[in-house]
Amino acid sequence: MTGKGGVMTLEERTPRRSGTNAEEEEEEEEEVNTVFRKRDSHLTSYYSGSSKSKIDFVFVKDRDRRLVTDAKVVPYEKVAPQHRPLICTLKIAPPRQKQV
């Protein structure tokens, strides 16, 4: 399932909760593990018999999306007998040093 441009926004995935207003939900989040082109084994995180599912997702705020360099499932590792871990790689810059 993907939304605009291969990305599903949190708003598209999650129905609006009653009692919240649009201002509280104004800042969108995006699902990043569907953005990168991957083979099916690097997208599917849950296997049960002949069934495969994408059950793990990484969401980042729109302003932080450029920090994500990769997101994929590691098919050769297991968290549980049927579950594979999802790894997300981010670019994080160290804090700037103050000049004296």
pLDDT tens by residue, 15-43 = 555 555 544 555 677 777 667 787 777 77
pLDDT tens by residue, 40-77 = 777 788 888 888 888 888 888 888 888 888 888 888 88
> 72 and 43 in contact (C-beta within 8 Å)?
yes
Whether 47 is covered by a domain: the verdict is: yes
pTM: 0.55
CB hemisphere CA count around 99 (13 angstroms)? 0
d(CA 72, CA 39): 10
How many structural domains comprise the chain?
1
Whether 95 is covered by a domain: the verdict is: no
Whether 59 is covered by a domain: the verdict is: yes
